[in-house]
Structures are given as structure tokens and as C-alpha cells.
Amino acid sequence: MTKKQISLLIFISIFVTFNIKAQELKTIGEIHNAYKNKIINAEQLTLLYIKRIKELNPQYNAVISIEPTALKQARVLDNLAERGLWAGPLHGIPVLLKDNIETIGTLPTTAGSLALKNNVTNNDAFVVKKLRSAGAIILGKTNLSEWANFRSSFSSSGWSGIAGQTNNAHDITRSPWGSSSGSAVAIALNLAPVALGTETDGSITSPASVNGIYAIKPSMGQVSRSGSIPLSSSQDSIGPMTHSLNDALTVLSVIQGIDRLDPSTTNFKLKPAIIKNKQPLIIGVLPSDKFTVETQKVYAKQIQALKAAGHILVNIIITDNLDTLLADEYYILLYDFKNEINQYLKNTPKEVTVKSLSNLIDFNEKNKEIEMPHFGQNILIQSNAINLDEKRKYRQIKSRYRSVATKAITNLYSNKILDIVIAPTTSPAWKTDLINGDSTKNNSSSLPAIAGTTHITLPVGRVEHLPVGLSIIADINGEYAAYAYAQIIDKVLSKDIKKPE
């Protein structure tokens, strides 16, 4: 019998023995209990996730690549466990990364673009270093909306030149939304227990909502962005996507911290949650009229469930003038992207021939049959047209839009009565349309994205077979209270409202 045949028999034996139980393992706690009780080890679990990816990924297109060293990483951790040692809070937990987050090794970091197919930086992003130090296994890279959905106004979320269209985990004919689409779909399909996404405005929370998973968009300065492909340092964030809120909080606690390469983190301090020692919660309820009628009905049920649990619900509205907010945001993103992507591309390995935004636009045009078969690159062109010498204009607009968003959130909490604010995260996923692009933009992401506050989404409702999330929007510097209140709300609604399968 050949070595290959022996390996195949071993694999089949492992699969038969552990497959049923492994598919029941989703949370960090469940996996760690299985490890400690010798039900399965990290290598066996990682092998099963790889097999599951190979089985399901052709239909959903969530994962771009599998890390070649994943099983080796797992074996190292199993050897530690055999000696009675534990690597950290994520010991033996496989993690998928959005493919704009760099890793050591042979995998490129592409942002979904064929222009970066050779972008092997052999560098671990700050968050990846933190994951490894906590015992995580880097399992692979997930598909995304190319260039974090900042290429075309008519894009289809989840499409990239590298990997094509990612499909919603609950209905393959529907959009996965947001640029962190592959990460969200992968978690919903249990291709991994943890994934990281990135967000500039809605790219973590929206795909999490329409795929029925937990996710946190952290407050600005909690998590370093160094080692990730930028869109806008004014708003970019990296956050966890998981099967439970507790897991998301655990992963966030691992990846946060001070990084000298990201100035936004230099004032970071780990703070205890300041929780009012009282029940019930006083919850501010933002209106839902901009969402679909069926989403409004789900939201109304959630509100009633919270009332039935004894909490006080207070209807609130945003009274601030937000007329200029989104236009200002778009200018800032255009400016930041040109400035920061030029710098990033300039420092890519020599195998990457595209060294500037202008080069990228030319590359896409020369390769339009494979890079632009469905939509163009009007956003890249608009960004390239920005005059980076207009620094005074940039500073004025940035100051204005940040102030407007911050005041809007501060004013919601200004009476000091509310403990937390909720809203629908977004409406259900629409039909994927590669001809016309995405058909809806409604979400609750912009204020916390621009103000830099924490935004949590909980998978506690659905419209027919499609998930819709509930947003927890933190006050300025109110992230730790939001974590605690989100757990209380999740406990009520996860019992009262059936979650997506």
C-alpha cells in the first residue's frame, strides 16, 4: 500500500469518527471542551474544516485560498496540549481572514484584484500576530467585494476579479452584501468558527446581518489596521465575525491593542465596563421606516419581546441635520483612498507591477474582459482625480463630517437616561444582479462608522428564510457598556425569536 493510500485511509477514518460531532462544534467554548475531553484535536478539526470548504465553497465561493501551513499550525498546538500547555484564549481555533489582511507565507493578499495576484508580502498584519499569539490557526483567506467595494457605484457586493461572485449563505441567488462578504458567508456555513472582516462603512455589519451571524465593528483606535490594504484610515476598522456574541468579544479582546504602526491606537486603554447596577435597561429605539416593511415587522416583534422581558423602550429620533454627511464622507474616502493606496502599492513586492492608482486604472482597462465584465471603475477614476494638495479643504470637510456624526450620536444619549440604542442593521438580502449592481443601500452603519463608535449586530430575526440583524450602537467611548448590554439583549431575543438555521 502506498503512502498516499495510507494517508487516504487515515483521513477517511478521522472523517467517519469525528465528522458528525465536528459539525456540531461552532463556538470557541464548544471546541475547547471537545479538545479537553479528547473528542477531537486541532489537526483533526482543521482537516474537517478544509474538507467542508472544499465541499461547499464551489457553490458559495466564500473562500479564496486555504493556508498551506494550517495543519502544521494545528499539529504544533496539539503537541502543546499533549504536554498540558495551552497557547491562549484561541488555542486551536481556525480563523479565516478577509483577503485584504496580510499574512506570513506564500498566500498573496489581493483585495480581490487580479492586479495583486502576486502580492505575497510575507508579513503578518498586527491582528494576525495577535491571533497567532493567542493560539489561533490561520486557515485561509476569504473572498470580498473587490477593493473593499470601492471600485464602482454599480458593483455587485461579493464580486471580485480574483474569485468571482460570493453567494448568500441562506439563498445562493441573493447578495452576501458588504465587502466582508466571504467572511460572513464562511461563518454562516460553518467553514470556520471565526473570521475577520474589515469595514469602512457597513462592510462588517451588513454582510453579518444578511447572513445571520454575530459581528462587531470596533470603535476607532481599538484595533490596528497595519498590515491590511487601506481604503480610508479615517474610517477603516477590523473586526470579528462569529457564531456567538461571546466569541466575538473574545476575539476582539485578543486583536485589540496599541500598535506603533497605527497612530489611531496610541491612546488605546483597556477599560472596564461601567454598567449601571440596575434592571431594567432603558433602550433607545431608532425608527425603522427606511427599511422594508417586513423588516419593520421583525423589529416591532423584537421591541415587544424586550418589553415583555421587563426592559423600558423609548422611541428616539436623530434631530441633527445630516444633509451633508454622506457627501462629505464620500469626499474623504476618495481623498484617503488615493493617498493611501498609492502609498500601499508603492511598497508592494517587485512581482506586483501596479505601483499606483493610475497604474491600477490602466491595468483594469487593459484587462477589462476579466476585471470588468460586469461593472466598471468609476469610483477609482473619481478618486484618482482628487487633488491631494487641497489639504485645507480635506481638513475642513473631515472636521465637519466627524463633528456632525459624533454630535448626532452624542445627542441620542444626551439626556443620560438611555443605556443603549438599537436599530435594524439592514433589510434582507436582495437578488444578486450583475447587470445593475446592488439594489439597496439601507443600513444603520454610517453614523458609528464616521463617528468611530462601536457597532454590534445580532442575528436575532428573519424575514421568511432570510436573516435580518439588530444593531447595537454605542455612545462615544461607550463600547464596554455596549458589550454588556448587547449580551442582555441577545439573551432575550435569541430565546424569543427563532434565529436563521
Q: Per-residue pLDDT tens for 261-302?
A: 999 998 887 776 566 556 899 999 999 999 999 999 999 999
Which single residue is written with the C-alpha cell 469595514? 199
Query: 4 catalytic, yes or no?
Result: no
Cell of 431: 437578488
Q: What pLDDT does 452 receive?
A: 97
**For the stretch 332-356, what's the b/e string if a residue is b when 16 or more beta carbons lie within 10 angstroms of its beta carbon?**
bbbbbbbbbbbebbeebeeebebee
Query: Strands 470-473 and 455-458: what pairing?
Result: antiparallel
Distance CA 292, CA 442 (A): 9
Cβ atoms 134, 73 nearer than 8 A? no
Q: How far apart are CA 68 and CA 11, in angstroms?
A: 17
Q: For residue range 64-121, what is the model confidence (pLDDT) as tens digits?
A: 999 999 999 999 999 999 999 999 999 999 999 999 999 999 999 999 999 999 999 9
DSSP letter string over 79-94? HHHHTT----TTTT-E
CA angle 237, 238, 243 (to 5 degrees): 135
Q: Is 307 a catalytic residue?
A: no
Stretch 389-396: mean pLDDT, rounded? 98
Catalytic, out of 98, 129, 130, 338: 98
State which amino acid sits at residue 314.
V
Catalytic residue (choose from 157, 160, 175, 203): 203
Triad 210, 216, 221: Cα angle to 5°? 140
Within 10 A of 239 (CB to CB), how many other CB atoms are there? 29
Per-residue model confidence (pLDDT) at position 442: 85
Active-site residue identified among 179, 180, 234, 446: 179
For 274, how many CA atoms within 13 A lie in the half-sphere containing its CB? 6
- Would you place residue 130 in the very low, low, confident or very high pLDDT band (cuts 50, 70, 90)? very high
How confident is the model over 215-238, as a mean pLDDT?
98
The pLDDT value given to residue 273: 58
Residue 159 near residue 148 (C-beta atoms within 8 A): no
The CA distance from 440 to 58, in Å, is 26
Asked if pLDDT for residue 438 goes beyond 90, the answer is: yes
Phi, psi angle pair for 226, to nearest 5°: -65, 140
Indicate the pairing of strand 63-66 with strand 137-142.
Answer: antiparallel
- The pLDDT assigned to 269 comes to 77
Give 481's contacts (C-beta < 8 A, 6+ positions apart). Answer: 273, 274, 275, 419, 420, 474, 475
427 annotated active-site: no
Report residue 416's pLDDT band, with 50, 70 and 90 as the boundaries: confident
Q: Which pLDDT score, from 0 to 100, does residue 268 have? A: 80
Instruction: Please count the other Cβ atoms lying within 10 Å of the Cβ belonging to residue 393.
Output: 13
Beta strand spans in 222-373 (E)? 237-242, 282-285, 312-315
In the prediction, which pLDDT does 23 show? Answer: 65
Q: Tell me phi and psi for residue 84, to 5 degrees.
A: 80, 20
Region 246-258: what's the mean pLDDT?
97
pLDDT at 5: 42
The phi, psi pair for 240, rounded to 5°, reads -85, 150
User: What average pLDDT does this structure show over 385-394?
Assistant: 98
Does 15 or 395 have the greater pLDDT score? 395
Q: What is the pLDDT of residues 357-366, one digit of tens each?
A: 999 999 999 9
Poorest-pLDDT segment among 16-25, 379-388, 460-469: 16-25
Nearest to 445 by CA among 237, 289, 168, 297: 237
* Of 329 and 5, more confident: 329
How many CB atoms lie under 10 A from the CB of residue 297? 13
Cα torsion for 351, 354, 356, 358, to the nearest 10°? 170
The string of DSSP letters for 242-292 reads ESSHHHHHHHHHHHBS--TT-GGGTT---------S-SS-EEEE---TTS-
- Condensed to tens digits (0 to 9), the pLDDT of residues 2-31 reads 544 444 444 445 444 555 455 679 999 999
- CA 325 to CA 323: how far, in whole Å? 6
